[in-house]
Amino acid sequence: MPPTPLLLSKELPSLDYSAPRDRFDETWRAPLSTLLGLGRAAGADFVEFFLERVNYISCMAEDDAITSLSPSLSTGAGVRVFRGKADCYVSTNDLSFAGLKTALEKGLSILGLNMPAPNSFVPAINLELLRDYATARQKESWLSDCSSMREMSDVLLAANATLHTTAKHVQSRRAVYFRDWQEVLVAASDGVFARDIRLNQSVGYSLLCADGSDRASISKRVGSSGDPAFLRTWDYSTDAAGVSESAGQMLYADYVESGTYPIIMANQFGGVIFHEACGHLLETTQIERKTTPFAEMKGEKIAHENLTAWDEGLTDQAFGTIDMDDEGMPAQRTLLIENGILKNFLSDRAGSLRTGHPRTGSGRRQNYTYAAASRMRNTYIAPGDYSVEDLFASVEKGIYCKQMGGGSVGPTGEFNFGVSEAYLIENGKITKPLKGATLIGEAKEIMNKISMCSKDLGLAAGFCGSISGSIYVTVGQPHIKVDSITVGGR
């Protein structure tokens, strides 16, 4: 049933919208344009609906058995209502027209708005032609092309068996996989009407080795987006060898002596330092909260002149790649820092409204229970002119951070990172493994201490938790040298 521009509010209960719950397509145009019109007629400045359907499954092999195979199905919707710069977000599992209308009504009432009187005209919103990335980019078969439960089990058991042959002093072996398939539909009162399908998968190892009182636990995970064959093409032999080698090195490692050192951070997941220490502080969410020291520094030097950094959603099959963000905006490639100069912030709709920085296709959320917020996608430091050997040769005594754990940044810009695999550098050479290191610093200071970048840019899959939940991201960098940083240890 098409929407009518002459609908009276009192006629709403008799409408028979029959949009399917198990597919987001053109049939949703009528109910959503009517609901958006209802919201605008009530006095909202802007209304947006986000519909989501998720088919998720995780699988875990422990030693030589599958101990968990866990499918999860969910559908839900969120409606966001703006009145001035204030906004309200209401989420629900109920995707019926009545359910969505109830959610809208609640959102309006929270902002002090009432549904139109029974004899009010409700102008349907003229939505754009459905921008359907799922169809245009042939994503409809992604779910059925992914590994079956049988294949998941077989691959993980084979992978864990391989780990058993490569590692020594094994106390436990785990191989873990998940597939997250998501269909989304965004409709907004500015006419946005867009659909997409996303597919994120990740697989990895967790190895615990013990020899007497010496223990080492090493994890490694890889991830991709948009590749149904991801699991069946996983090179687990190489990963098993790498994890085993790292665990063997760390099993008898000494604790790091606390102090201030120059460090070299490995490429790929080493990029978490930029993600935490700088990336978060370039989100407009942080400007709104006044928790970034960079808020007024666009166009100014905030980092070493050798540092250039990007955030983008376009790299083929990278974990943080998206065709459109969760507000229906196509993804972009956003230059954050160029030769040390701050060029752009990452902005979602609300961030743009409240800070004036243009939207960058960065409105992201974990699921329908969260309003979108400005978030990173694939974020990395660009390659520099040095070789890795140049970096090591410049360090008399320092620490090589080969594998990073997680990290976080606080409201005053202080950050920290765990280092899961570290080595002492003496006179430009690696001399022994170290454990228990934590890197501590302040964003504003550290960015000027990243003095050397090598040429070997590498990306790694990661998870980022923040105001709009946990999302898939890529971090990345070449090998970099930080001239000095506080290292917490024993």
Partner 1 sequence: MTQIQDIAASAEAIARQLNITKYDVFGSSVDENSVQVDQGEPKQVKASQRSSVIVRVWNDDNRMGVTSTTDVDPKGLELALKTAQEASQFGATDHVADFSPEATKPIPTVPTSKAPQAAVAELIKTLVDAEHQLLQAHPAIAGVPYNGLAQRDIDKFYLNSDGAQRVDARSYASLYLYSKTEQEGKKPRSAGAYRMGPSVDGLDIQGCLSEAAEKTISHLNYAKVKSGKYRVVFSGEAFLSLLGAFSNLYNAQSILDHQSLSTAESLGTEIASPLLSVYDDALHPDNVAIETFDGEGTPTRRVPIITEGVLTGFLHSAGTAKRFGVAPTGHANIGAKVTVSPHFYHVMPGKPAETTYSLDEAEQVIWIDDVSALHAGVNALQGSFSLPFDGWLVTKGDRVSVDSATIAGDFLDLLKAIIYVESEPEVLPGGVCPRIWVDGLSVTGE
Q: Which is nearer to partner 1, 224 or 403 (CB)?
A: 403
Q: Which is nearer to partner 1, 88 or 197 (CB)?
A: 88
Phi-psi region of 190 (alpha: psi -120 to 50; beta: other; left: phi over 0): alpha
List binders of partner 1 among 295-334 (CB under 8 A).
none
Distance in Å, CB of 246 to partner 1, minimum: 14
Task: Give the one residue of 150, 233, 299, 316 binding partner 1; rule: CB under 8 A.
Answer: 150
3-state secondary structure labels for all residues of 45-88: CEEEEEEEEEEEEEEEEECCEEEEEEEEEEEEEEEEEEECCEEE
Counting contacts by CB under 8 A, is residue 289 touching partner 1? Answer: yes
Q: What is the C-alpha separation between 391 and 385, in angstroms, rounded?
A: 11
Q: At what angle do helices 149-166 and 236-251 cross, to 10 degrees?
A: 40
Q: Which is nearer to partner 1, 14 or 213 (CB)?
A: 213
Q: Which residue has the tokens 């998501």?
A: 182
Counting contacts by CB under 8 A, is residue 91 touching partner 1? Answer: yes
Amino acid at 201: Q
Task: Give the one residue of 130, 164, 182, 215 binding partner 1; rule: CB under 8 A.
Answer: 215
Taking CB under 8 A as the binding criterion, the range among 130-138, 159-167, 208-216, 355-363 that sits at the site for partner 1 is: 208-216
Counting contacts by CB under 8 A, is residue 171 touching partner 1? Answer: yes
Closest by CA to 272, choosing from 449, 178, 403, is 403
List binders of partner 1 among 111-130 (CB under 8 A).
111-112
Closest by CA to 391, choosing from 417, 430, 436, is 430
Token pair for 332? 């972009």
Task: Collect all residues with Cβ–Cβ distance below 8 Å to 162 and sequence separation of at least 6.
Answer: 236, 237, 240
Q: Which is nearer to partner 1, 120 or 438 (CB)?
A: 438
Q: Which is nearer to partner 1, 86 or 229 (CB)?
A: 86
Counting contacts by CB under 8 A, is residue 90 touching partner 1? Answer: yes
Taking CB under 8 A as the binding criterion, the range among 2-10, 90-98, 125-133, 302-310 that sits at the site for partner 1 is: 90-98
Closest by CA to 250, choosing from 434, 55, 19, is 434
List binders of partner 1 among 403-462 (CB under 8 A).
405-408, 410-414, 416-418, 420, 435-438, 440, 442
Q: Which is nearer to partner 1, 72 or 165 (CB)?
A: 72
Taking CB under 8 A as the binding criterion, the range among 37-45, 189-197, 225-233, 255-263 that sits at the site for partner 1 is: 255-263
Q: Which residues pair with 441 in a beta bridge?
A: 415
Q: Which residue has the tokens 């997680």?
A: 406
> CB of 79 within 8 A of CB of 48?
yes
Amino acid at 78: G
Q: What is the C-alpha separation between 420 and 266, in angstroms, rounded?
A: 12
Mask: binding to partner 1, 470-489, rule CB under 8 A, as x and -?
A: ----------------xxxx
Mask: binding to partner 1, 382-401, rule CB under 8 A, as x and -?
A: --------------------
Distance in Å, CB of 412 to partner 1, minimum: 4
Distance in Å, CB of 418 to partner 1, minimum: 4
Q: Which is nearer to partner 1, 242 or 436 (CB)?
A: 436
Q: Which is nearer to partner 1, 118 or 411 (CB)?
A: 411
List binders of partner 1 among 27-86 (CB under 8 A).
58, 60, 62, 65-76, 85-86
List binders of partner 1 among 333-362 (CB under 8 A).
350
Quote the strand ranges of 123-272, DSSP E: 131-132, 170-188, 193-211, 214-225, 254-255, 259-265
DSSP 148: P
Distance in Å, CB of 143 to partner 1, minimum: 13
Distance in Å, CB of 39 to partner 1, minimum: 15
Task: Give the one residue of 283, 288, 326, 348 binding partner 1; rule: CB under 8 A.
Answer: 288
> CB of 371 within 8 A of CB of 238?
no
Q: What is the C-alpha separation between 139 and 321, in angstroms, rounded?
A: 14
Q: Which is nearer to partner 1, 5 or 99 (CB)?
A: 99
Q: What is the C-alpha separation between 85 and 99, in angstroms, rounded?
A: 26
> How many residues make contact with partner 1 (CB under 8 A)?
75
Token pair for 136? 């245009």
Q: Which is nearer to partner 1, 126 or 172 (CB)?
A: 172
Task: Give the one residue of 92, 166, 249, 352 binding partner 1; rule: CB under 8 A.
Answer: 92
Closest by CA to 329, choosing from 343, 353, 348, is 348
Taking CB under 8 A as the binding criterion, the range among 91-99, 263-271, 324-332, 387-395 that sits at the site for partner 1 is: 91-99
Q: Which is nearer to partner 1, 75 or 366 (CB)?
A: 75
Distance in Å, CB of 460 to partner 1, minimum: 16
Q: Which is nearer to partner 1, 17 or 56 (CB)?
A: 56
Amino acid at 411: P
Q: What is the C-alpha separation between 321 and 143, in angstroms, rounded?
A: 18
Task: Collect all residues with Cβ–Cβ distance below 8 Å to 275 and sequence separation of at least 6.
Answer: 376, 379, 407, 462, 464, 473, 475
Q: What's the residue count for the chain?
A: 490
